[in-house]
Amino acid sequence: MRRLAETWILNTPDPEHFSDIRPIPVIPPDPVDAGAKDAGEEALSRGEVGLFLVAGGQGTRLGFPGPKGCYPIGPITGKTLFQYHAEKIRGLQRRYGCELPWYIMVS
């Protein structure tokens, strides 16, 4: 413990100097991407989209008895991965005025 304290607490290294850090350049969106986004939003508005989530595997390595998607991952909320997806889907349904069928495949 004494050696660890001497190395990491008593002999703290000089702070890094970050004065030369610059933001990365902005990459403008590709017009092809904008067209794909527009086509996707139109398909959502027409109710032509369905969702399929491949959520294979149990959470046994996590020490969890059910599917990993049921594992609580929200550090404060305790929400599950499935709940996060469900809330995003509900938001899309409201935004585009559509029903989004959601299929979940677990193994």
> Would the pTM of this model clear 0.75, i.e. be above it?
no
With beta carbons less than 8 A apart as the criterion, state whether 40 and 92 touch. no
Given this model, what pLDDT does residue 39 score?
94
Given this model, what pLDDT does residue 61 score?
82
Given this model, what pLDDT does residue 3 score?
84
Given this model, what pLDDT does residue 13 score?
67
Q: Is residue 99 part of a domain?
A: yes
Give residue-wise pLDDT tens across range 29-45.
888 888 899 999 999 99
Expressed as residue numbers, the domain containing 80 is 49-58+65-107
Given this model, what pLDDT does residue 47 score?
93
Q: Is residue 2 part of a domain?
A: no
Low-confidence ranges of the chain (pLDDT < 50): none
Q: Is residue 4 part of a domain?
A: no
Instruction: Give the count of domains, the chain.
Output: 1
